[in-house]
Structure 1
Amino acid sequence: MNTLRLLVIICFLSTLAGCQQEYSGDVGGASVQSDFDFGNYNAEGARLYGQQCAGCHGVEGNGTQIGKPLVACATCTNISSLAKEISLTMPIGQNTKVTDCDGQCANDVAEYIMYAFNGLSLYQATSSLKGVSTQPLTNTLRNATVQLAGRLPTDAEIAQVTNEGEAGFSSVMARAMNEDEFYVRLTEIFNDVFLTDKYLRVNQFNGALNLLDRDDYPNRNWYDTAYPDIEGEEAEQKAQDEINNDNRGCSNIFANDAVAREGLELINYIVRNNRPITELVTADYTMVNWYSQKVYDAVLTDPEASFTELNDENAPCEAYSSSYSSATLRYDPSDFKPAKIAGIPHAGILTSAMFLNRFPTTETNLNRHRSYMVYKMFLDTDILAIKGSRPGDSIDTTSTFPTLQNPDCYTCHLVMDPVASTFQHWDDRGRYKPNNLWPSSIEAAGLAGKVLTKSGGGSDFDAMLQWLGHEIAQDSRYIRAMTRHLYKGIIGQDLLSAPSNNADADADVYADAVIAYNAQRGILANIGQTMVADNWNIKTAITALLLSPYYRANTIDTDKIKAANHIGSARLLSPEMLQRKLKATLGFDWYELRNNDVENRIMFGGIDSDSVIERIHNPSGLMVAMQERMAVEMACRATAFDFTKVRTSEINERRLFRFVSPDIEPYDADGIELLSNIEAIKENIQYLHNTLLSESLPLSHAEIDATYQLFLSTWQIGQAMAANPDSFSPRPSENMEYTCSARWDRENNDQGLDNALRITKDKNYVIRSWMAVMTYLLSDYRYIYE
């Protein structure tokens, strides 16, 4: 294959232009162009790669836990730059410059890597995605706005996407990602990674504040003395019993939760202000609200900034926390600003007391757990998966320092211990202790072969985590780590693992797995590089993921794609996502999951960030039963209430019943079909299928007819009951069930409706027939999948 042919292949990869409805390859944002300069297949490079590189990076270039994948790697942009990296840094883990493969050796290996893993294999893999048919962009828009903005798209947004295509979609999502609900979802995505919500007050009383040392932060419980009439043990008791309904009680909640979420609020601040996500590990500041600023005695980075003071001095605490319904507060607890804490060399989340306590250390562990988490979260590396012999008893009585002298131990510790050493100034409680004694029996502080010493004035040595954060931000694996977190949060599943080829593996199955893995790596590498080119803006990466086949897949040609289980984003909604979908489609959520009801959320597959840290992805019998109960209760509450809203030719405020009214029946009193009424009923059923299940069906579709038959049979049973009430027990009534009647404004804290608006009777059984339809659609598995 000549150079011209390979250049054509790469041009093809950048577009992946297919027929209508197939994946376009456009990931939005700033475009990334690479000048590939391929040579022919380099036999000597192949030999050298197999001899010196395959052990770490895999025979197929798919990587191992000790070596990053080379398929679509971030540094595989051209032969010369890759050759330079090989000659200067390979193999990783050495304390001195490596010269085993430089010069012609490095060029030969680089040429082979570019040809084998970034040319032919990538072309074959991504070409397979032509077998993916994607859903219409308007459906993608509907799913994306529900998932990320907690609402349905507006008519104007649908029109913009219809007229402008993917460019219009990107513009709409850019606006949606400026809405507050988006940051709620973003917090959930990254809390699934960092798990610091363990310390929210709903999970642990003062869980975050109690982790702070009183000597370091004497104002930790400033609110105990902020109100002179309540002090000391009495104040502690009142807070503990949650019976104190004054501003101090609110302060207790908001101070604790602000400290607990400072790392997550850092992500929100970065993304909200379109700052580079590298600041997650490099920021020389933390995030505080008015309540936690007093805890830390922190200084805002902007001396002119001030916290948002609520307009109404009697603003109810209830609006921010249900625990203190009659309390008041003056400052907005959701207003976070960057600040610095005296004496702390901030390095983003790495120096957050919550992060350090959530992933603690001991005198013998020596920060190795923290190192493991850094590699897993920020460098896309699972140290525990590094190949090597690990004796069951893990006891070595022959070596003085096994982690340095025993080869079975050293393989992992060579990677892990340098990063562990960068945490040496932080103790088991997350306190900054720059004078901590550190044993010499552990590798010196460093990362990927770079070593940090006391030379050069010692400033880096005193702030090792700042050094580590900047090194992580420059490591190509950080791109992969961020796209992995976003992929799992949005698509609902983890990335594919590198295929394992062993003696028992089926050759065809392995080949299909390699193609699937390479295609995913190729697309996600492009998404990652697009994010980097757009100033590390993760909004760009999110939009790109939404446009990818992994989110938009509708149907798959299994003749072209054999390994396809990972394509498509039909994911089980988390309890939080379900609540937002209910609000988006019905206007209010389900009280069983409201108010941070931890037990119910866990039963529905949620987490508490403490003992339950993995979400359920396949519904259990209990979850199915909960959905059925939800469907019945929400249909009961939503149906009659929606009919109380205005529906005229000029204004239609209804969410659900935009084409019908309670007096539209399918037959008249003589049993004659009312064709115009039936058409209106079917149009509304079609609308409900689209609104609730995100499916665009023609009126003639079998699903529309099946739902209509349910409506009709329910109505007919109602007519029979009304005609012969004495034949049924209990005796039917035109009065609806009390909780199903429209007596309350469900969208506004169940405030009572005016008598003129209330609907309490259903004489012709039309409303109850629509309740049956709503129950049917809400209990469909597709409602709790998105």
Structure 2
Amino acid sequence: MNKHTDIGWQALWLLLACLTLSGCINDYSGDVGGASAGGDGFVAGQVNESGRQHYLTQCASCHGADGNGTPSGSSLVGCATCSTLSVLADEIERTMPVGKTSRCVGDCASDTAEFILQAFNDRILNGNTTSLTGVSNSSQQTTLRQAALQLVGRLPNASEVAQVQQRGDSGLSQVLSGMMTEDAFYQTLMEIFNEQLLTDKYLSRNLNEGGINLLDNDDFPNRKWYNDEYPSQGDSDPLRNLRNCARTQSNDAVAREPLELVRYAAKNDLPHTLFMTADFIMVNWYSQQVYQAELLDKNASFRQLPQPVCEADGQSLSWDPDDFRPARINKALQYESNGIPHAGVLTSAMFLNRYPTTFTNRNRHRSKIVFDYFLDTDILKIQGDRPGDGIGNGMPNPTLLDPACYACHQVMDPVASAFQHWTDRGQYIITGNTSVNRWDSSDIEPAGLGGKKVPLSGDTGYFRNMLQWLGNEIAADPRFIRATVRTLYKGLVGQEPLLSPGEHASDADISAFNEQRSVLNAIGQAMVADNWDIKTAIKGIIMTPYYRAAAVNTTARPANLHIGSSQFLSPEQLQRKLRATLGIVWDDLRYESNRLMLGGMDSDSIIERIREPSGLMVAIQNRMAVEMACRAVPYDFSWHNSKRRLFPYVETSSSPLNENGAPDAVAIAAIRRNLQHLHWTLLGEQLSDNSAELNASYQLFMDVFNQGQIMMASPNDFDPWPRSNPCQATRDFREDGRTAAAFEDTSNNSDVAPADRRQRITDDNNYVVRSWVAVLTYLLSDYRFVYQ
């Protein structure tokens, strides 16, 4: 770091003063706080002149004279600590200025806080989160379809559609609440948080024992219990399948433990703050064997399934892998006799290994991640000189003594110190000069957060459980609200919230930013008011134009300000959409390589989804469209029309021409009605009978049909449906999309109820089936099918 000897200490502290508020150390623009009109000593409509002067002399150089931020400081509009006067004043007292917190306390802090609330936050309080000027929302029915596919991987049922049609937004809100009680929703929720945590790296599909091998064998001698329970028996090894299955279930339960904590809180209507504060971990039967953990509910037992999960040689395991319960690791560990002091995700072995430390880094990387993920703060945005070679200016211990370094390290290092009892492998030990995890506190800030220090002695001493203290502080920090809403917003909408516009931004950019802050602020506060119910925030985001916008008036607002949800489906989302719309999935996506080529992530070497398709991804979509149309059309026709997803209004005999070769008006009407159904089911568009889109689809059907009639009338020996053609319906499909056992043709069986009869589709004598295959290929190839 370069030492600026020509800058006096007083001028230097004035330079650092712009880093004082929580917003100053975070250039991210997501919303959290939001001022309250009145109450807590704040009077709207007045301006605190003393606070204005404090702000202009100490904060404006960082946050801008208008509070909309600069390159070195974020906006104060809806800032993280702008919830009430007392909260903001307390933040200023504890953190302003960086390194010299006594500069603005008492009246200075409260006056400055009052001015910030009056000048920069009163203007955004419109209380409306469902509409924006110049933006037209999709209908409630269209929003319902999109949300159902995204949240629970299915299409809305008739009852849900009727409720929305009858009650509008109120009905939509109620239906969404019901969907968020389904198991599929919790899987989606865990996927959203894994995009941030990336702990799915350790799943068996990526690494065979990726999670279990991270656990210390001295602490967890039973971590590979399956090898002892089902030992290898030589070449024949009849228990191999049982052992391998138990290993997979155990490893994946260990790997998903931090994500299961998110699901547990949401599923049981508990506050999402458990993510930071839970004094337990989540285990299923398989991972309980690994940890030898004690369930919190000592009278509880794990659920068993009717069918075995793992079996071989007459032995089986039927414990439900999805049945996770809270537990504590209370047994004696290598260096500690009192067990592990759990602190939510902060003490998860998977989280600690995913973001490890080194002897010289000393948990600073972990601190950076904590600030980013849970406090919505980018440490690297803090002002200060950073040497390119990482050596510094020769000053002993520059992180404490060099002001240019200290500006950042005094924020980051207290959190790093809180991890001092956790090794690079996530093992919990007691530190000291003779321990494996040697820690010298003389050259680094003591553990704490935001100007507070961890109490290390007395009745509230936290020496052995610093992360428990930190977790509780984070959960109480207003920035945790903003961080949570940010994670959910990106997961649902597919985009980061708008960045701080800065002092030279256009009026349109500033207006759009302030509007979004206001909306997301209201969502965050509603979530907290509902006992930190994360479902409240999810529903709130879905109800906003940022999710459901259908059109933007570019005269009223620029078109590039991220209005409306639009993201390329992940491979997992595509599989769920295929199952919801076609009834079957694409077996090619069983392979990790295909999922990655289609824009997926493995949480290891590929840590971000591709949200804009490449040429290769488009080619894969086209292949999917051809293969899935070929399989899905006859498969759907094999069912009774009351059970069909795709063709409820037509039959394989529904030809547009009658037996005399003349147009059949009744059949044509049915074909067009079914085309409308396909456009809604696959693309979510409701077409009138005379729309151009519907006419184009009908013309495609007729072009293929007419060409088929020509070929069938040719003198050549034309096979109406080659027996080797996979476009037949004779077998069912397995869960992974591969063909399963053949089904019996009961179309003429009077012993079977009409609605339950199945018909094999092995020929296409009138070319109707292949005409529908062409239409379905066309629709599945549409970009709207793979965007959501």
The question of a shared fold, defined as TM-score above 0.5 by the shorter chain, is answered with yes
Corresponding residue of 1:13: none
Corresponding residue of 1:571: 567
3-state DSSP class of the match of 2:326?
A: strand
Shift of 1:696: 1.1
Match of 1:332 among 312, 317, 320: 320
**1 CA distance for matches of 2:573 and 2:131?**
32
Give a deviation string over 1:9-42, Cα, whole Å, max 9, x none: xxxxxxxxxxxxxxxxxx9xxxx99757313345
Give the letter for the 1:689 counterpart. Answer: H
Corresponding residue of 1:317: 310
**2 CA distance for matches of 1:689 and 1:481?**
38
**1 CA distance for matches of 2:222 and 2:367?**
31
* 1:167-316 matched pairs, under 5 angstroms: 167-227=170-230, 230=232, 245-312=240-307, 315-316=308-309
More displaced, 157-166 or 530-539? 157-166
Does the C-alpha gap of structure 1 residues 144 and 181 become closer, same or farther in structure 2, counting only changes over 3 Å?
same
**1 CA distance for matches of 2:127 and 2:477?**
28
Give a deviation string over 1:72-119, Cα, whole Å, max 9, x none: 2354345x43664366435164586x352532x445433432232212
Shift of 1:376: 0.7
Shift of 1:738: 2.4
**1 CA distance for matches of 2:88 and 2:179?**
43
Corresponding residue of 2:419: 423
1:662 aligns with 2:646: no
Corresponding residue of 1:166: 169
Corresponding residue of 2:531: 535
Give yes or no for contact 2:37–2:122 (8 Å, CA) kept in 1: no
* 1:149-160 matched pairs, under 5 angstroms: 149-160=152-163
Match of 2:745 among 729, 751, 755: 755
Shift of 1:183: 1.5
Corresponding residue of 2:94: 89
**1 CA distance for matches of 2:98 and 2:765?**
79
Does the C-alpha gap of structure 1 residues 725 and 189 become closer, same or farther in structure 2, counting only changes over 3 Å?
farther
Give a deviation string over 1:723-771, Cα, whole Å, max 9, x none: 1152xxx945344652110111236663312134211100010010000
Give the letter for the 2:454 counterpart. Answer: L
Does the C-alpha gap of structure 1 residues 427 and 468 become closer, same or farther in structure 2, counting only changes over 3 Å?
same
Does the C-alpha gap of structure 1 residues 326 and 782 become closer, same or farther in structure 2, counting only changes over 3 Å?
farther
Match of 1:341 among 325, 329, 353: 329
Give yes or no for contact 1:71–1:117 (8 Å, CA) kept in 2: yes
**2 CA distance for matches of 1:384 and 1:453?**
28
**2 CA distance for matches of 1:266 and 1:102?**
40
Shift of 1:202: 1.1
* TM-score using structure 2 length: 0.87
Give yes or no for contact 2:421–2:428 (8 Å, CA) kept in 1: yes
Corresponding residue of 2:583: 587
Give the letter for the 1:210 counterpart. Answer: N
**1 CA distance for matches of 2:724 and 2:651?**
19
3-state DSSP class of the match of 2:415?
A: helix
Give yes or no for contact 1:72–1:122 (8 Å, CA) kept in 2: no
Does the C-alpha gap of structure 1 residues 326 and 394 become closer, same or farther in structure 2, counting only changes over 3 Å?
farther
Corresponding residue of 1:695: 685
**1 CA distance for matches of 2:340 and 2:476?**
23
1:449 aligns with 2:442: no
CA RMSD, Structure 1 to Structure 2 (Å) = 2.6
Give a deviation string over 1:489-523, Cα, whole Å, max 9, x none: 1111111111234xxxxx6x532222121111111
Shift of 1:123: 5.7
**2 CA distance for matches of 1:394 and 1:73?**
32
Give yes or no for contact 2:656–2:664 (8 Å, CA) kept in 1: yes
Corresponding residue of 1:785: 787
Corresponding residue of 1:632: 626
3-state DSSP class of the match of 1:697?
A: coil
Give a deviation string over 1:272-328, Cα, whole Å, max 9, x none: 11110100010000011111111111000001110112334xx2539xxxxx99984
Shift of 1:687: 0.7
Give the letter for the 1:745 counterpart. Answer: D
* 1:20-31 matched pairs, under 5 angstroms: none
Give yes or no for contact 1:138–1:158 (8 Å, CA) kept in 2: yes
Does the C-alpha gap of structure 1 residues 737 and 662 become closer, same or farther in structure 2, counting only changes over 3 Å?
farther
Q: How many pairs does the alignment contain?
A: 723
**2 CA distance for matches of 1:182 and 1:230?**
39
Give the letter for the 1:557 counterpart. Answer: N
**2 CA distance for matches of 1:60 and 1:273?**
44
1:47 aligns with 2:49: no
Corresponding residue of 1:774: 776
1:741 aligns with 2:744: no
Match of 1:679 among 669, 679, 692: 669
More displaced, 680-689 or 393-402? 393-402
Corresponding residue of 1:708: 698
Does the C-alpha gap of structure 1 residues 68 and 101 become closer, same or farther in structure 2, counting only changes over 3 Å?
farther
**1 CA distance for matches of 2:146 and 2:510?**
30
Shift of 1:669: 4.2
**1 CA distance for matches of 2:152 and 2:701?**
32
**2 CA distance for matches of 1:144 and 1:127?**
15
Corresponding residue of 2:592: 598
**1 CA distance for matches of 2:604 and 2:322?**
24
Give yes or no for contact 2:566–2:787 (8 Å, CA) kept in 1: yes
Corresponding residue of 1:11: none
Give a deviation string over 1:397-434, Cα, whole Å, max 9, x none: 42000111222222211111110000001111111112
Give the letter for the 1:317 counterpart. Answer: C
1:522 aligns with 2:526: no
3-state DSSP class of the match of 1:461?
A: coil
**2 CA distance for matches of 1:287 and 1:628?**
41
Give yes or no for contact 1:660–1:680 (8 Å, CA) kept in 2: yes
**1 CA distance for matches of 2:703 and 2:315?**
51
Corresponding residue of 1:621: 615
Give a deviation string over 1:194-215, Cα, whole Å, max 9, x none: 1111111111111111111111
**2 CA distance for matches of 1:123 and 1:755?**
62
**2 CA distance for matches of 1:33 and 1:773?**
57
More displaced, 216-225 or 770-779? 216-225
Match of 2:639 among 632, 638, 645: 645
Corresponding residue of 2:439: 438
Corresponding residue of 1:765: 767
1:512 aligns with 2:508: yes
3-state DSSP class of the match of 1:739?
A: coil
**2 CA distance for matches of 1:662 and 1:447?**
69
3-state DSSP class of the match of 2:356?
A: coil
Corresponding residue of 2:146: 143
1:102 aligns with 2:98: no
**1 CA distance for matches of 2:395 and 2:559?**
47
Corresponding residue of 1:552: 548
3-state DSSP class of the match of 1:740?
A: coil
3-state DSSP class of the match of 1:338?
A: strand
Corresponding residue of 2:23: none
- What residue ranges of structure 2 are gaps of 5+ in the alignment? 1-30, 331-338, 433-437, 747-758
Give the letter for the 1:308 counterpart. Answer: R
**2 CA distance for matches of 1:574 and 1:499?**
30
Does the C-alpha gap of structure 1 residues 155 and 630 become closer, same or farther in structure 2, counting only changes over 3 Å?
same
Give the letter for the 1:248 counterpart. Answer: R
Corresponding residue of 1:14: none
1:463 aligns with 2:465: yes
3-state DSSP class of the match of 1:73?
A: coil
Does the C-alpha gap of structure 1 residues 628 and 416 become closer, same or farther in structure 2, counting only changes over 3 Å?
same
**1 CA distance for matches of 2:71 and 2:299?**
48
Does the C-alpha gap of structure 1 residues 383 and 74 become closer, same or farther in structure 2, counting only changes over 3 Å?
closer
**2 CA distance for matches of 1:425 and 1:363?**
13
Corresponding residue of 2:134: 131
